[in-house]
Amino acid sequence: MAIFVDETTKVIYQGLTGSQGSYYGRLNREYGTQVVAGTHPTKAGTDVDGVPIFASVAEAKEATGATASCIFIPAPGVQGAILEAAEAGIEFIVAITEGVPAHDEANFYNRLVNDFPNTRLLGPNCPGIISPGRCNIGITAGHIAKEGGPVGIVSRSGTLTYQALYELKQKDIGVTTCVGIGGDPVPGTSFIDCLKAFEADPETKAVMMIGEIGGSAEEEAAEFIKNHMTKPVSSYIAGVTAPPGKKMGHAGAIVSGGKGTAAAKMEALADAGVRVGQNPTEAGDLMAEIVAGLASSSPGVPG
């Protein structure tokens, strides 16, 4: 099993006709993802590499039975695209686009909570999700991940997610699902949402969590891990030496008023029993130790 998406997931690409959408749509399809449709308001009836284009998500869903969508639409259109997908009954929406205004994010987050409680949004400003060997939705290079488990990954940062997948692959450790939740102030899916799903997934035996400075999502995750997780967790927090008041690339990565520091997050995680690395390599080494421990205590577990 994997979390959120697997080989049966059918995906509609909103923005498949654009340059980014067509490029990553093709790569995802080559990976094995069921890319069943694209949408464009005026290009219905055409196709992109043989994938049919529909005028709306509702029509695409009706024709294909898709349950997920992936959004490659420019920032001004993201709010409309997310609500269109939710209204059409899409259950899992992945928004890759960066640069979406924070007020839009707060608005569609609450619209989904209030009116579409069964729809999960991942992103915006995220690399997407990959269940290695089964399904890859977004911009992660599929071959840097080893399939099979036993590790689940959840991360706020794109390139550090790749780094984590790669470190584990070098050590011959497989991944059930890797979720990039994105670095924006209001992510649709939180660390806790993913931790909960990994805890419930029998195939996932351990979780690697990659955070960064800003906000209090890591502290909240630590609280959850302390009280609800039975599976071991390793972690790394980027931005230990970031100066206060400066946004470090991501809209959400800023230390303000002494809050959101890496030190506070690492302390909260360590206090919850998480094994915290000082850099991505060390976090990978810690996960290798955890996995080795799993293998010796329960023979037959892959990895």
Partner 1 sequence: MDLFEHQGKEFFAQFGMPVSPGEAVFSVDEAVAAAERLGTPVMVKAQVHTGGRGKAGGVKFAADIDAVREHASNILGLDIRGHIVNRLWIEKASDIAEEYYASFTLDRSAKKHLGMLSKEGGVEIETVAEENPDAIAKIWVDPTVGLDEATTRAWVAAANLPEAAVEGTVDILQKLYVAYTDGDCDLVEINPLILTPQGNVHVLDAKVTLDGNSTFRHPDYEQYDETQPRDEREAAAHAKGLQYVGLEGSVGVIANGAGLAMSTVDVVNQVGGKPANFLDIGGGANADVMAGALEVINNDPAVKSILINIFGGITRGEEVANGILEAMRRVKIDAPIVIRLDGTNADEGRAILAPNINEMLQMEDTMLDAARRAVELAG
Instruction: Kindly list the residues in this chain that would bind partner 1 in the complex (CB under 8 A).
Output: 24, 27, 75-76, 99-103, 106-107, 109-111, 114, 127, 139-141, 143-144, 155-163, 166, 183, 185-186, 210, 212-213, 215-217, 220, 236, 238-243, 246-253, 257, 262, 278-281
Identity of the residue, 46 or 159, whose beta carbon is nearer to partner 1 in the bound complex: 159
Distance CA 32, CA 116 (A): 29
Q: What DSSP state is assigned to residue 123?
A: -
- Other C-beta atoms closer than 10 Å to the C-beta of 204 total 22
Identity of the residue, 145 or 291, whose beta carbon is nearer to partner 1 in the bound complex: 145
Distance CA 270, CA 222 (A): 8
Identity of the residue, 66 or 165, whose beta carbon is nearer to partner 1 in the bound complex: 165
Closest distance to partner 1 from the beta carbon of 298 (Å): 31
Identity of the residue, 74 or 273, whose beta carbon is nearer to partner 1 in the bound complex: 74
Q: What angle do CA 91, 179, 58 make, to 5 degrees?
A: 20
Helical axes 217-228 vs 262-271, angle rounded to 10°: 0
Closest distance to partner 1 from the beta carbon of 57 (Å): 21
Distance CA 11, CA 68 (A): 5
Closest distance to partner 1 from the beta carbon of 68 (Å): 21
Identity of the residue, 201 or 212, whose beta carbon is nearer to partner 1 in the bound complex: 212
250 carries an active-site annotation: yes
Among 167, 166, 158, 123, CA closest to 139: 158
The tokens describing 229, both together, are: 């997780």
Phi and psi (nearest 5°) for 52? -70, 140
Distance CA 238, CA 236 (A): 7
Closest distance to partner 1 from the beta carbon of 236 (Å): 8
The residue from 40, 143, 228, 250 that is catalytic is 250
Distance CA 21, CA 13 (A): 7
Closest distance to partner 1 from the beta carbon of 23 (Å): 8
Identity of the residue, 241 or 296, whose beta carbon is nearer to partner 1 in the bound complex: 241
The tokens describing 120, both together, are: 């999960």
Closest distance to partner 1 from the beta carbon of 126 (Å): 12
Among 137, 140, 202, 190, CA closest to 169: 140
List CB contacts of 203: < 8 A, sequence separation 6 or more. Answer: 1, 2, 149, 150, 176
Length of the chain: 303
Catalytic residues: 250
